[in-house]
Structure 1
Amino acid sequence: MREAATTWEGFLDQVREARRDLGNPDLVWFRGQAKESYNLLPSLMRHKEGQAKEQILFNEYERSASYLQGKKSDWEMLNDMQHYGIPTRLLDWTEVLGIAIAFALFDSGDDSYDSAIYVLDPVALNKLSGVSGVKRAPNEADFGYKSVYWYGKPFHPNFPIAIDSSLHNERMRAQNGSFTVQGLDDRPLDLQAPSLVQKVTLSSDVKPAAREFLEHANLHPFSIYPDVVGMARHIVRKHLNP
């Protein structure tokens, strides 16, 4: 494991090193996590009865939300559930390092402890499941959420699968977001495929410089969450700086 960098420049060097350790793939995804100790485990798997109640959660949300939002695909419904805090088997990623840093900092609200940035090779991850490239949900007829993850048709993946975020909403476009979808193995992704993901510590020493970078890059809650919730978070942070 890398020793945490104490400077912004050192942190960026470690991100470059992480990409090199993955073989400098053409495509890498980033994920920011508020606490360095957190593993890459979706919210559904963090609940004792999460997997057993996955279908109940989805069906109830679908019934409750359909009259508000109109007809959506299963993948779009799952994306909405993820955004609104209902546990799913999705794990958020982005192609933009700055957005991953923003997630790590916005979710922590505290610079006294270390956070983490994960760097993933999504194409290599999908090869473990015999999948070529990144899946484009919901545009592939043979890759439906319910058919694959509830009924195992045409296959039931063991490893997480990387899916493209062509999920049609402003939040995902603003975040350049994508997902990994947890499979049968309920262990964290970093334990299932340790050679395909690298962890870089965003130390408490580096966080002030990271926040300055976000300010210069105009990355704030409203630019990343372009909705009323993001706007409110941005106003509070701008004027009260919590």
Structure 2
Amino acid sequence: MSEWNSFLAEVKQAESELGNPKEIWYRGHSQKDWLLTPSLMRESDWERKEKDLFIEFKKTASRLFEKRTSDWETLFDMQHYWIPTRLLDWTTVMGVAIAFILHNDYSTPEDSALFILNPTDLNRLSGRDEVINVPEDKGFDYQKVYWDNNPVRIDKPLAIRPGMITDRLQAQKGMFTVHGTLASGFESVAANCVKKVILPSAAKAEARTFLKWANLDEYTIYPDIVGMAYHIKRKILL
């Protein structure tokens, strides 16, 4: 069995161990040792910086974007443009998660990792029976919940389903987890809801063939000028 087929078999086994839920989310890391920790929570004094980043972005970006109807949509814009947030990006399409790995891994010989999440089981750890739709769930307001701890303080990560406000979110079938007060993340508080499968370096050539067959290049999953530029560069130069 090839390294790629062995990887696929491990993915299937991981999904079985998660109970083969109807909804599964995927996240790719180009480095196998990276943790499921949002960029914001790697900062010192991150709770204060979160507010400063949000306020500054909302103020300065108002001239560049259409008016957003909720703070969640502003937060998704921040994540889109690499401003540190308490969000982690996930997708419902495994191929997109593999693309995230390989599009950031031109020649690195190291192993990578695919994370597989049962989002419903994750939310059950916090007493919720389903994925939270935002901004539709009016009782789940970003600032009230995460800045004011109203109605309660949330410690564990939660799975949220965003409104598809951007072409990129639609193309990537994007989902998010939003982290609470515990910076340690999944590894200590939600280990039974997520599985990690190593994508060996030796499997990456076949993985790239898979992406080519599936038409998952930079432009199809980043349908904007940035994705187009990356796609042209890879097509001509690499």
Give the TM-score category using the shorter length. Answer: over 0.9
1:136-179 deviation per Cα after TM superposition (whole angstroms, max 9, x unaligned): 01111100111111111122211100000224111000000100
TM-score, normalization: structure 2?
A: 0.96
Q: Is the 8 A contact 2:156 2:185 kept in 1?
A: no
Amino acid at match of 1:80: D
**Matching residue of 1:133:** 130
**Matching residue of 1:184:** 181
Are residues 1:11 and 2:7 paired? Answer: yes
Structure 2's unaligned 5+ residue stretches are none
Q: Is the 8 A contact 2:157 2:185 kept in 1?
A: no
**Matching residue of 1:22:** 18
- How many Å apart are 1:217 and its aligned residue? 0.6
Please say which of residues 187-196 and 61-70 is displaced more in the overlay.
187-196
1:87-132 deviation per Cα after TM superposition (whole angstroms, max 9, x unaligned): 0000000000000000011122234001100000000000111112
**Matching residue of 1:219:** 216
Of residues 157, 178, 195 in structure 2, which corresponds to 1:198? 195
Of residues 103, 116, 121 in structure 2, which corresponds to 1:119? 116
Of residues 50, 53, 61 in structure 1, which corresponds to 2:49? 53
**Matching residue of 1:98:** 95
Distance (Å, rounded) in 1 between the aligned partners of 2:188 and 2:173: 25
**How big is the alpha-carbon RMSD for the aligned residues of Structure 1 and Structure 2?**
1.2
**Matching residue of 1:39:** 35
Please say which of residues 162-171 and 80-89 is displaced more in the overlay.
162-171
1:66-104 deviation per Cα after TM superposition (whole angstroms, max 9, x unaligned): 122132121111111111111000000000000000001
Structure 1's unaligned 5+ residue stretches are none
Please say which of residues 24-33 and 45-54 is displaced more in the overlay.
45-54
3-state SS, counterpart of residue 108 of structure 1: coil
TM-score, normalization: structure 1?
A: 0.95
Are residues 1:159 and 2:143 paired? Answer: no
